[in-house]
Chains A and B, each alone.
Chain A
Amino acid sequence: MEEDNNKQDNKTNRKEFLQKTLLAGGVLAAGAAGLNNLTSCNKDSGEKVKVLTADGKLVEVDSNHLNKSHACCAAPTSEARFGVPGKKYVMVIDLSRCKHALKCQDACQRYHHLSGMNVWLKVFKMHDAENTAPYWLPKPCMHCDKPPCVKVCPVNATYKRDDGIVLVDNERCIGCRFCMAACPYSTRSFNWEKPEFISETEGATYSPETGFPQKKGTVEKCDFCPDMLRQGKLPHCVTACPNGVFYMGNLNEDSVSNGAETVRFSQLIKDKGGYRLNEILGTEPSVYYLPPVNRLFPFIDPETGKEKMEEEN
């Protein structure tokens, strides 16, 4: 009997609930319509939406709690100079897993709306000596801790943030290209002409955290997708890679993740013998590499379509 009562209660409760939900939903819809043009998330937008509670009271909820859109998470120029507090971003690239699928590059080009010949993330075929084994080397910006490019910038357009990221402010850059000369990893590219834009992104506000819209006569480069990092999301190359080559993490909390697995940074570097490129230059990059040992895929040269070993035999 008591159980029945309970059920009855539940039923009425549920019916009541659904009716009230409807009311709430109706208001939500009105609120949600205005949510498309949010300028920043994780912060209160100031836009309130009325929601009806169970006891019949109307409460106000900030509209940002209802629909989180993250295409808009890049900080404005002044804020983008400091970085996310407490973080020290670090990337680990596992060379033993790369098979030159170029999904990282595709995603990078698409999400940064890169037009023309500007490619931020390149994947090089490394085969320096006759008797060494070839392998693929994905090369983003190294985000050096002692960045030679930042040293030489005359106008502070490219800068080092506290969270380790090196960014370019395309609204300040004078286009002298000294940073391109100084970068020993050649990661920077220049907008030689007025970039072509995809119509859907027209009218977007500029932020150094997305580098978009690009500006004619300025330098740009891989930025570690700080708009994504700001939301605690992984950069696009990391999520796009089908083989989990890229790990991204916060050095201060000793952990990196490639989306599928999350491991301790120190352990990973220790177990697999991680290293950095051109340590001899003293630039202290934020990108670590794991050597191409016990590889997941054979090295196939896209030009010959053959595996290296086959070719020789």
Chain B
Amino acid sequence: MKYNLSFLAIKTLLQRIIFISLCISAFIFFYNDAIAQGVKDSTSKLSFTINLSSLVSNGTRTVNVKAGRKENKKTIPVHNLKSPVNLYLNEVKEHDAVNGTGWISKLYLNNEGEGIFEFPSDFNKLTADLHAFTFIVKIVSDPVYENAEEEINIADAKINIEYAGADSVKTATATLLIWKENNYVPLPQAELKLCIKRTFNFLPFGEPGATTDSAGKITGELPLDIPGNANGTLTIAARLEDDETYGTAEVTKDVPWAVLPKVNPERGRTLWSPGDNAPLLLVISSVTIIVIIWGAIFYLVYLLFKIKRLGKAP
């Protein structure tokens, strides 16, 4: 009896579950498009993020825009945003041709949602007397991401780098100066990094975690055995990275101290070379074999013609 009851209970429960799930699937089936559309619109508008950063490298300023949207707690790059983003300088958010505003460029983001605006040299000259920048990036005409915007304020920072030393000790010293009351003054206690420019990134040298002294200076010892470029020069850099106030600032300098780099070996005649660079012994032996065998084959074909000629003769 007990068994029967529980069995019935399970049966009804199952029936209910099936019924409800059928209803849900029907609902999803018919309203799938509408739901998907709604969800997509609302979430992407809400979670759209733009990352704006500024880099000044040897006096040339670059603004980087990176757009993404949050989905399931992951930031996914915005793929192929069809409409461009607008980049403004100094607090003006609208592109207003009549009144003269600070709209500087229109950027099309690439597949990874990235766009780079590097100040052309003339642009750099124009901004030489500006010591505080406000960059604003805004998407205007996109139906999904409309009105997404981001703004950063960057103050001017300047770095000098010098090097000194002999054979056994080689040092580099960098000074960090910031614009304060119409003057460049040293900035102490800043995490200015000394590093060597490498293919992908900057290889730090000197004492790890060191900060600038009261004169805004930092000194580090260069490794003696570091390979540079083929001329024996090494590009060293001093970098202030992702600073809240100053963004990223860097300066580079070539120093004639490097160990010569390893050179890629010559393309030799190897088994893994292209066909025209095969090992000579292999080429010679195979050509010899082919010539002998096919020479004989052509002779045999000639014999066939000879038989035919004999056949024609009376």
Contacts and interface: CB of A to CB of B under 8 A. Distances in A.
A/B contact in complex, CB under 8 angstroms: yes
Contacts, number: 158
Contact of A61 (B102, B122, B130): B122
B115 interface: yes
A22 B272 contact: no
B200 A232 contact: yes
Given A18-B90, A233-B200, A257-B198, A13 B129 contact: yes
A36 B108 contact: yes
Given A32-B106, A252-B227, A162 B198 contact: no
A232 B199 contact: yes
A307 B227 CA distance: 44
13 contacts: A10-B129, A21-B103, A54-B126, A65-B120, A67-B116, A67-B117, A68-B116, A86-B264, A234-B200, A234-B201, A252-B227, A255-B199, A257-B201
B126 A262 contact: no
Q: Interface on chain B toward A: helix, strand, loop, or mixed SS?
A: loop
Nearest to B196: A255
B100 A6 contact: no
A156 B84 CA distance: 42
A29 B106 contact: yes
Interface in B92-151: 92, 97, 100-108, 110-112, 114-118, 120-123, 125-127, 129-130
A86 B228 CA distance: 11
Given A71-B110, A156-B275, A61 B120 contact: yes
Interface residues of A toward B: which range?
A: 35 or more
Interface residues of B toward A: which range?
A: 35 or more
A22 B100 contact: yes
Given A88-B262, A249-B200, A253-B199, A51 B123 contact: yes
A264 interface: yes
Nearest to B92: A18
B203 A255 contact: yes
A53 B125 contact: yes
Contacts of A79: none
Closest 3 CB pairs of A and B: A257-B201, A71-B111, A150-B272
B104 A21 contact: yes
Given A51-B120, A232-B199, A160 B272 contact: yes
A147 B229 CA distance: 28
Given A3-B182, A249-B198, 6 more contacts: A24-B104, A32-B84, A87-B199, A163-B264, A248-B200, A253-B228
B79 interface: yes
Contacts of A248: 200
Contact of A32 (B108, B123, B204, B226): B108
A263 B203 contact: yes
Contact of A21 (B102, B107, B203, B273): B102
A300 B162 CA distance: 51
Contacts of B97: 22, 26
Q: Interface on chain A toward B: helix, strand, loop, or mixed SS?
A: mixed
B202 A262 contact: yes
A133 B24 CA distance: 47
A154 to B, nearest CB: 9
Interface string A2-40: 010010001001110111111011101100110110000
Interface centre among B97, B182, B199, B228 (most CB of A within 10 A): B199
A276 interface: no
B126 A53 contact: yes
A162 B122 contact: no
B261 interface: yes
Contacts of B79: 200
A96 to B, nearest CB: 21
A59 interface: yes
Interface in B197-223: 198-204, 223
A28 B104 contact: yes
A258 B90 CA distance: 35
Interface centre among A14, A52, A252 (most CB of B within 10 A): A252
B267 interface: yes
Nearest to A254: B227
